[in-house]
C-alpha cells in the first residue's frame, strides 16, 4: 500500500511539472508580447486586462432586456458613453459607464430611427458606422453611416437630421450666398462615382473644419469627401499603385487583347477610417500591397512616422494553419492621449499598441471564445486609456480593457516625454525595466530622454545596443557638432602649423645654407 501511494505521488508530481499551465488556466491567462532588437517575439507582462465583458442579453432598457447583439459593426466613445452600432438589429445602443473607475454600466438610450427635417420618422437599416464630433464647430453632432439605406445621416444630439447625404449622382448640391439657398444638380458627382454604382457607406468621420469623410464599400479611390453641408467634394487619400519595371515594360509591348486579359493593377479599398485628436485620419486596409495602417493629413498624404526596425504591420512572423493564415489585417485604429495608437487585427484577434514613432509597445489578445479573445473583430475605441473592443461574431461581445500597473508605467513615461519632462520620463522607464528587463522600448525611451537632455554619447551607446539606427544617427549628428565646436581650435591650430611651420623651416634652412656657403 505504501509503495502504491508513493507511485501515485510520483505520477502526480510528474504531471504537475509537465503540464503546469493546465493548473494556471483556472483564471484568465493572456499572452502579451513585443519584439526585441532581433525581431524575435519576447513575452511581456500584461499591459491590459479585461475588466468588463458585456453581452447584449445581459442589458436592460426601461425594464426590458434588449436581447443579443447581432453582427455589431462599430463603437464610438463620447466622454463616458459608449455607442454600439448593433447593425443586425438595426439599432444603436448607448451605454453609460459610471462609478469608481467607470466600472459600472447601464443602457441609457435605444435608437432605431431618426427624425427627418419634415418631422417624419426614418428607420435605420443595417448601420455600419457612427461618429460624434468633438470639434468646436459641430460639437456633439452625430454622423451615421446608414448602410442599408445608402445614406449618411448628420444629426444633432437628439437624433434630429440636419443633413442627409445620398449618392452624389442623386444628391442635389446646395450653395449659400447672402443667406439665399441655391439648389442645382451637381452632374460631376454622378460621373465620378457612377450613377449605377451602389453608395454603401461603411464608416464616417468629420474634422475640425466640418469636412465629412466617408469610407464607402467597393470604392477604391480613397475616402469620399463632403463639405459640412453634404456637398460632394471628391476623393482623398487614394493609395498609390506601384508597378514593377517588368509590369511597365509588358504594358508597353503587349497587344490590347493581352493587356485586357492581364490582371489590372488598381488601388486597394480602405476598410475603415478614424480621426485622432490632431485632426489626422487613420485608415486601414487588408491589402498586402500597401501599409495596413496610414495616417493621412488634410491633403491625403501619409505622414505616419516609422522609425522602428519593422513598420506597424502587426505580426512579423506568422504560421499557417486552420482559418488563421497570412499576415495581420487591421480593421480599426484608436488613439490615446499620449500619442499611442492601437490597431485591431481582424485575422487573429490581436491588438497592437504603437507609440508615435511607430515602435511596438505590446501586443495582446488572440482568436478564441474566452474572455479577452475574439472571433470576428470589428471595431475599437478608447475612453481615456481604457480600450473597448467589439466582436461581431455570432457570440458578439463588447470587451473593456484596463491598464495594469505595468501598462500604466509605460503610458506614464510616454506622457512625460511628450510634455517635455524628459528627466521624469527616463525615471519612469527605469521603473518599467525593473519589472521587465527585456523591454527594448524602455531602453530607447531612456536614450531619447538622454538625447533631449544633451547626453549624446550615452544616448548613442543605448541606441546602438538596440539597433535603432535612425535615432543613433540623430544622436551622432548632435554629438559631432558639439565635438567640433569644442575642439575646432585644435583643428585650426594643427592646420596653421601645417601651413606655416614647413615654409618657415624651409626658409631657415635656406638662410643657413646661404650663410654657410658664403
> Tens of pLDDT along 402-440?
999 999 999 999 999 888 898 899 999 999 999 998 898
pLDDT given at position 503: 81
- DSSP letters for 226-253: E-TTS-EEEEE-PPPPP--HHHHHHHHH
Q: What is the mean pLDDT of residues 222-226?
A: 93
Lowest-confidence segment of 122-126, 155-159, 442-446 by average pLDDT = 442-446
Asked if residue 434 and residue 311 are part of one domain, the reply reads no
* Residue-by-residue DSSP string for 305-332: ---SSS-S-S-SS----TT--SS--EEE
State which residues form the domain around 205: 28-403
Residue 274 within a domain: yes
Integer angstrom CA distances of residue 489 from 7, 136, 454, 494, 496 = 83, 57, 22, 8, 10
Grid cell listed for 390: 467589439
- Mean pLDDT, rounded, for 63-83: 95
Task: Assess whether 377 and 420 both reside in one domain.
Answer: no
For residue 19, being part of any structural domain is answered with no
Partners of 93 in beta bridges: 84, 110
23 domain-assigned? no
For residue 101, pLDDT over 80 is answered with: yes
Residues 492 and 388 in one domain: no
Q: Are residues 255 and 129 in the same domain?
A: yes
Do 142 and 166 sit in the same domain of this protein? yes
Between 401 and 29, whose confidence is greater?
Answer: 401
CATH code where residue 474 lies: 1.25.40.10
* pLDDT tier at 483, thresholds 50, 70, 90: confident
User: What value does the CA radius of gyration of the chain take, rounded to a whole number of Å?
Assistant: 30
Same domain assignment for residues 258 and 383: yes
In a domain, 15, yes or no: no
Domain boundary among 360, 384, 403: 403
* Angle, in degrees to the nearest 10, between helices 405-418 and 440-453: 20
Residue pLDDT, tens place only, 284-320: 998 776 789 999 998 899 999 887 777 898 888 776 6
In the prediction, which pLDDT does 159 show?
97
Q: What integer best gives the mean pLDDT of the chain? A: 83
pLDDT at 510: 78
Judgement on whether residues 397 and 430 belong to the same structural domain of the protein: no
CA distances from 56 to 111, 125, 358, 434, 490 (A): 15, 19, 36, 41, 76
Say whether both 342 and 481 belong to one domain.
Answer: no
Q: Which residues neighbour 259 within 8 Å (Cβ) at sequence distance 6 or greater?
A: 251
Q: Does residue 417 share a domain with residue 382?
A: no
Last residue of a domain, one of 403, 427, 457: 403
Tally the domains of the chain: 2
Q: What is the pLDDT of residue 6?
A: 47
Dihedrals phi, psi of 429, to nearest 5 degrees: -60, -35
Amino acid at each position: 500500500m505504501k509503495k502504491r501511494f508513493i507511485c501515485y505521488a510520483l505520477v502526480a508530481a510528474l504531471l504537475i511539472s509537465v503540464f503546469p499551465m493546465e493548473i494556471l488556466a483556472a483564471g484568465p491567462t493572456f499572452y502579451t508580447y513585443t519584439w526585441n532588437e532581433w525581431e524575435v517575439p519576447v513575452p511581456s507582462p500584461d499591459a491590459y486586462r479585461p475588466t468588463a465583458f458585456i453581452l447584449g442579453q445581459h442589458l436592460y432598457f426601461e425594464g426590458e432586456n434588449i436581447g443579443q447583439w447581432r453582427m455589431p459593426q462599430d463603437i464610438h466613445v463620447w466622454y463616458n458613453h459608449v455607442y454600439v452600432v448593433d447593425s443586425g438589429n438595426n439599432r444603436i445602443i448607448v451605454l453609460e459607464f459610471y462609478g469608481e473607475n467607470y466600472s459600472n454600466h447601464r443602457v441609457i438610450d435605444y435608437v432605431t430611427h431618426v427624425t427627418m427635417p419634415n418631422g417624419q420618422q426614418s428607420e435605420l437599416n443595417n448601420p455600419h458606422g457612427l461618429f460624434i464630433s468633438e470639434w468646436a464647430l459641430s460639437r456633439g453632432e452625430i454622423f451615421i453611416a446608414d448602410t442599408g439605406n445608402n445614406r449618411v445621416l448628420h444629426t444633432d444630439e437628439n437624433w434630429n437630421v440636419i443633413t442627409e447625404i445620398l449618392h452624389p449622382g442623386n444628391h442635389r448640391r446646395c450653395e449659400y450666398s447672402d443667406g439665399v439657398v441655391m439648389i442645382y444638380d451637381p452632374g460631376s458627382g454622378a460621373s465620378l462615382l457612377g450613377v449605377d454604382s451602389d453608395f454603401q457607406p461603411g464608416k464616417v468621420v468629420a474634422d475640425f473644419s466640418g469636412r465629412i469623410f466617408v469610407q464607402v464599400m467597393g470604392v477604391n479611390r480613397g475616402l469620399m469627401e463632403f463639405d459640412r453641408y453634404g456637398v460632394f467634394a471628391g476623393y482623398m487619400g487614394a493609395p498609390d499603385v506601384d508597378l514593377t519595371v517588368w509590369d511597365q515594360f509588358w504594358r508597353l509591348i503587349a497587344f490590347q487583347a493581352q493587356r485586357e486579359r492581364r490582371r489590372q493593377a488598381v488601388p486597394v479599398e480602405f476598410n475603415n477610417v478614424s480621426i485622432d485628436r490632431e485632426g489626422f485620419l487613420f485608415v486601414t486596409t487588408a491589402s498586402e500591397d500597401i501599409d495596413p495602417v496610414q495616417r493621412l493629413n488634410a491633403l491625403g498624404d501619409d505622414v505616419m512616422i516609422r522609425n522602428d526596425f519593422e513598420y506597424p504591420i502587426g505580426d512579423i512572423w506568422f504560421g499557417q494553419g486552420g482559418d488563421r493564415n497570412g499576415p495581420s489585417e487591421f480593421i480599426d485604429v484608436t488613439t490615446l492621449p499620449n500619442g499611442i495608437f492601437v490597431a485591431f487585427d481582424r485575422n487573429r484577434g490581436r491588438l497592437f499598441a504603437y507609440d508615435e514613432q511607430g515602435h511596438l509597445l505590446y501586443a495582446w489578445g488572440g482568436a478564441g471564445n474566452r474572455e479577452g479573445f475574439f472571433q470576428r473583430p470589428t471595431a475599437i475605441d478608447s475612453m481615456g486609456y481604457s480600450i473597448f473592443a467589439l466582436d461581431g461574431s455570432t457570440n458578439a461581445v463588447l470587451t473593456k480593457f484596463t491598464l495594469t500597473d505595468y501598462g500604466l508605467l509605460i503610458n506614464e513615461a510616454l506622457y512625460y516625454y511628450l510634455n517635455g519632462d524628459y528627466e521624469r520620463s527616463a525615471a519612469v522607464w527605469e521603473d518599467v525595466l525593473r519589472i521587465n528587463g527585456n523591454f527594448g522600448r524602455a531602453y530607447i525611451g531612456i536614450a531619447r530622454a538622454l538625447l533631449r537632455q544633451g547626453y549624446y554619447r550615452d544616448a548613442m551607446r543605448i541606441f546602438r545596443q538596440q539597433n535603432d539606427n535612425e535615432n543613433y544617427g540623430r544622436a551622432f549628428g548632435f554629438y559631432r557638432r558639439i565635438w567640433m565646436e569644442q575642439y575646432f581650435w585644435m583643428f585650426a591650430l594643427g592646420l596653421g602649423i601645417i601651413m606655416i611651420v614647413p615654409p618657415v623651416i624651409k626658409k631657415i634652412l635656406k638662410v643657413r645654407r646661404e650663410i654657410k656657403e658664403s
